[in-house]
Structure 1
């Protein structure tokens, strides 16, 4: 499965321009988790540009709340008007660091809510600066591999095993609690420490899974929630993978149609044929990227550029078309390489974020399915039959991680079927390659009283692309006002 996260286009563009010019931890206790211990109030301090920052200590193992602690980093964008409460926000992933994202994405939420609410976010456990794990072994191999070939799939599985082995050696049983359920218990501790009587929450992409799991575990303290671009709460890893195959093909068809309507389509006058020729050329030649000391553009990295085009987030489709056109017309793979590496998580200094590790181990925790390479190859073959152009890529990023997991500790995620205290608005796009609309429909059917709002466009999540959705989200979060179920917003 492609990473369920929002593309940081500013970082991608900066990279494109640049290139173009330890002992194991003790076993986790297994007793049933008792109620959370009391937590001290948060001590916020100024951290520049109008933001406030703090940290909170939470149990490393929630079933041993008096034991070892980990530290979570938090950031707040204070209300600018008459304060009426706070909104907690998660932008997705798993692997999007909230403390960085709020500085570029927080203002839109403040605008939608009229500046009346504090906006609070955090780096979930293990990510960025919240008692992080760091196991970059295998990252380049994983993202450079071609998932549409048996050799590439073996390389991906080997890379995932490298990451698992390195992380297990360094962090031991901490990996068992890098997942949504312990992360939601962390969120509840943050809510209590912030002094908020209920949890008002905006979750995008993977953030919808955090919100849905919170609603399942703590229905009585759900405030107003907006869940945008839903993951399936009850689907298996295979359900998710094949849902993304279908939605990925639909989004690719829509992208081709959109491109074909332009006089200078990046793929050429016949987008499908141009796409096929592009992949055939890169697969055959793996061109050397100028100025990179012999690095090559691979099909695996080209798929990352396609992902940027499919999610169409904050200019990512235009950027993908720009670098595709540059390669087709000028023969220079620099832009494609830079965007591919940036989408894969490479930072400007050449190191990787630890998003790939978090993605792998949260997936392992949330989906108890364990697969063999033969299982994944069979599923990749089926996905390729369903969608020759995008199927193998869409399916394998979740499935391959399931070959390199710690032993399964928990069952499926809890389902949010109990009535909640507040109002819940679910939003989705008619064509979303990463989180199909069917997931939002499923979530709406589970949460009593929830309503669904649909944006008539392609792309991943809608809050940041539609004033219609942003206004409705603001009304829900600030006043508990819900639109009619099934309301549709124009593209």
Structure 2
């Protein structure tokens, strides 16, 4: 998608020079005296325990970076960084930076969450390094003051409510620019990648290794494109397709939901004697859509909530997990008859926000206004979006017809249609030979297998390990044993990728 870039030639030249300067930062004193980013690579970091409720081994610091890399001598912001030191000084290989996803998810406590999930031979070789990306958590957070309704990513399309959808999207954009207009243009994936390289330099490292989940895979891929010589061992867990950033990614997720739904109807039909949803996939499908139609007439009470048809459809991520989906539909069916059926297995409301996080995320909930506000900053700042509300309306109608389960949920109008500026830089075209390992479940509700294959096409030096039959969003980050574990451990400890792409079960 072509992007209009509102920068003068001189400013663009300055930004390019800044990026180039950062790309050649080294931990040594070989920095040129007139390098505008010299000071950022020579910071003296002060480490201290992150928090009393965190492990003593998790220590934190702040790395100073430019707000605008096109003006490295101007305003600065702080990036909150954490680490757990490698278990062995003798075997230490370097640093393993981590990002949990989002965009908008804080990552400062991720080293503590991941440490018990990683094998000893990985922990002894790497300092585990986490960070809150710019705009998030303790790194100059943005907060738009959004209501719960405004924080939701998905709003179903209907002709009668589209005017409200347009007003909501416009209001979110207006709130964000009113409260954080000085920060928003600079909260982008490219700038976060630049921050990663500034952290690398401040840590005194010539290269970084990396573990990114979900959105973190895109951030990692952008880093490999911008700083290919600084990328060591990159593991991308549940990958996005860089070519779909960002509207294409939202619509692609609902396309994959139809495949998962079809698979579920077959699974449930084969178990009709147990669940009673229908003896054929067609019968199971009819049962489901009859429930949706009934809920549209009279919302179905379930676990203290009322589910109308749109609310049922909004649970589409659950269909990648066939047992949980069956439990949910059985519970809905029982509720229509006034019969309790136990827990429903519905997905959490967090699945309807722009951000996601691995299963090891800390129990204390993040500030959802900050999470969602930062997410919109990245979504709208990374790539261009359509400006005409009519285009969203037409696409929502078409996608709902082609993908009845959730097509309109991914295509309806979003705040980026009313963002106050166009992206300052073109979206990053990822196309390089940097080594990386992609690990992917076959059935993932948020970054489907097709997206991971898109990432594999963009990273020619990568290999992908697909977990056949694997369900859910996240492979390594969930802590559940997986056939991909051995591949990741071997790569992180030796740097050796599989000879070819692999599928394991």
Same structural fold, with TM-score higher than 0.5 when normalized by the shorter chain: yes
206-215 vs 139-148, which moves further: 139-148
User: 1:23-42 counterparts in 2 under 5 A?
Assistant: 32-33=14-15, 34=18, 35-36=21-22, 37=37, 38-39=39-40, 40-42=43-45
**8 Å Cα contact 1:94/1:359 also seen in 2:** yes
Rounded to whole Å, the distance in 1 between the matches of 2:128 and 2:364 is 28
Rounded to whole Å, the distance in 2 between the matches of 1:432 and 1:241 is 14
Aligned to 1:17: none
Aligned to 1:361: 377
- Specify the SS of the correspondent of 1:97: coil
**8 Å Cα contact 2:169/2:415 also seen in 1:** yes
- Specify the SS of the correspondent of 1:150: coil
**Where in structure 2 are there 5+ consecutive unaligned residues?**
1-10, 23-36, 356-362
User: 1:69-468 counterparts in 2 under 5 A?
Assistant: 69-81=76-88, 82-110=91-119, 113-141=122-150, 143=152, 146-235=155-244, 237-262=246-271, 264-265=274-275, 270-286=283-299, 297=307, 299=309, 301-307=311-317, 309-310=318-319, 312=321, 322=327, 325-330=330-335, 340-344=348-352, 352-396=368-412, 400-420=414-434, 423-457=435-469, 458-463=471-476, 464=478, 465=480, 467-468=482-483
- Specify the SS of the correspondent of 1:140: helix
- Specify the SS of the correspondent of 1:389: coil
Report the CA distance shift for 1:306/1:236 in structure 2 as closer, same or farther (over 3 A): closer
Report the CA distance shift for 1:297/1:194 in structure 2 as closer, same or farther (over 3 A): farther
Q: Which has the larger radius of gyration?
A: 2
CA offsets per residue over residues 355-409 of structure 1, 9 Å max, x none? 222222211112213332211111111111221122222334xx52432323213
Aligned to 2:498: 483
- Specify the SS of the correspondent of 1:113: helix
Question: TM-score, normalized by length of structure 2?
Answer: 0.78
CA offsets per residue over residues 201-253 of structure 1, 9 Å max, x none? 11121111111110111011111111222222233545434433331211222
Rounded to whole Å, the distance in 2 between the matches of 1:418 and 1:114 is 29
Rounded to whole Å, the distance in 2 between the matches of 1:123 and 1:265 is 45
CA offsets per residue over residues 277-315 of structure 1, 9 Å max, x none? 333333333467887xxx8545554444332x1465xxx
**Where in structure 1 are there 5+ consecutive unaligned residues?**
1-28
Rounded to whole Å, the distance in 2 between the matches of 1:290 and 1:418 is 49
Whether 1:61 aligns to 2:71 is no
Report the CA distance shift for 1:323/1:475 in structure 2 as closer, same or farther (over 3 A): same
Rounded to whole Å, the distance in 2 between the matches of 1:103 and 1:299 is 40
450-459 vs 172-181, which moves further: 450-459
191-200 vs 325-334, which moves further: 325-334
Report the CA distance shift for 1:66/1:208 in structure 2 as closer, same or farther (over 3 A): same
Report the CA distance shift for 1:261/1:51 in structure 2 as closer, same or farther (over 3 A): farther
Rounded to whole Å, the distance in 1 between the matches of 2:169 and 2:443 is 30
State the Cα distance separating 1:434 from its structure 2 match: 2.6
CA offsets per residue over residues 4-54 of structure 1, 9 Å max, x none? xxxxxxxxxxxxxxxxxxxxxxxxx76632224233143322233232222
**8 Å Cα contact 1:231/1:435 also seen in 2:** yes
Report the CA distance shift for 1:303/1:209 in structure 2 as closer, same or farther (over 3 A): same
231-240 vs 50-59, which moves further: 231-240
State the Cα distance separating 1:85 from its structure 2 match: 1.8
Rounded to whole Å, the distance in 2 between the matches of 1:246 and 1:460 is 16
**8 Å Cα contact 1:289/1:296 also seen in 2:** yes
**8 Å Cα contact 1:138/1:163 also seen in 2:** no
**8 Å Cα contact 1:113/1:475 also seen in 2:** no
- Specify the SS of the correspondent of 1:95: coil
- Specify the SS of the correspondent of 2:244: coil
Rounded to whole Å, the distance in 1 between the matches of 2:410 and 2:121 is 33
State the Cα distance separating 1:188 from its structure 2 match: 0.8
CA offsets per residue over residues 42-98 of structure 1, 9 Å max, x none? 332223323222222211111111211222222223333443322111121112221
**8 Å Cα contact 2:242/2:458 also seen in 1:** no
**8 Å Cα contact 1:41/1:195 also seen in 2:** no
Aligned to 1:6: none
Report the CA distance shift for 1:101/1:339 in structure 2 as closer, same or farther (over 3 A): farther
Rounded to whole Å, the distance in 1 between the matches of 2:277 and 2:194 is 47
State the Cα distance separating 1:145 from its structure 2 match: 6.8
State the Cα distance separating 1:122 from its structure 2 match: 1.2
